[in-house]
Structure 1
Amino acid sequence: MYGAVDKSLPQRIAILACECIFLLFVYWFLFLEGNQVFHLSDGDFGRKVMLFIFCLIIFVRMSFMVVYLLKRGITWGETWGVVFAFMIYYIGFSLLGGIIDKPLDWIDGIAIFIFLAGSVINTLSEVLRNQWKKDSQNKGRLYTGGLFKYAIHINYFGDVVWVIGFALLTRNLWSALVPAFLVIMFVYFNIPEHDRYLRERYGNSFVEYEKKTKKLIPFVY
Structure 2
Amino acid sequence: MTEEKKSYFWLKTSIFFGYIIVILVMITSAGTLPEKLIVRYIGWVIFIVGFIVWLPARIQLRKYYTSLPEAYKIIKTGIYAKIRHPIYIGVELMFAGFSLVLYSLWGLVSTIVLITALHYYRIIEEERLLEERFGKDWLEYKKNTWF
Give the structure-2-normalised TM-score: 0.76
Q: CA RMSD of the aligned region, Å?
A: 2.9
Q: CA, structure 1 residues 99+168, in 2 after alignment: closer, same or farther (shift >3 Å)? A: closer
CA positional deviation for 1:172: 3.3
Aligned length: 137
Unaligned 5+ segments in structure 2 are: 65-70
Unaligned 5+ segments in structure 1 are: 5-73, 134-138, 216-221
Q: CA, structure 1 residues 124+186, in 2 after alignment: closer, same or farther (shift >3 Å)? A: same
Equivalent runs, 1:1-221 vs 2, <5 Å: 75=9, 77-97=10-30, 102=35, 105-130=37-62, 133=64, 140-181=72-113, 182-187=115-120, 189-215=121-147
Q: Which has the higher contact order (CA 8 A, sep 6+)?
A: 2
Distance in 1 (alpha carbons) for counterparts of 2:137 and 2:12:
30
Larger Rg computed on CA atoms: 1
CA positional deviation for 1:87: 1.5
Q: CA, structure 1 residues 173+202, in 2 after alignment: closer, same or farther (shift >3 Å)? A: same
CA positional deviation for 1:100: 7.5
In structure 1, the residue matched to 2:67 is: none
Identity over the aligned pairs, expressed in percent?
Answer: 20
Give the structure-1-normalised TM-score: 0.53
* Deviant stretches of 4+, over 4 Å: 98-101
Q: Does structure 2 conserve the Cα–Cα contact (< 8 Å) formed by 1:98 and 1:170?
A: yes
Amino acid at match of 1:125: A
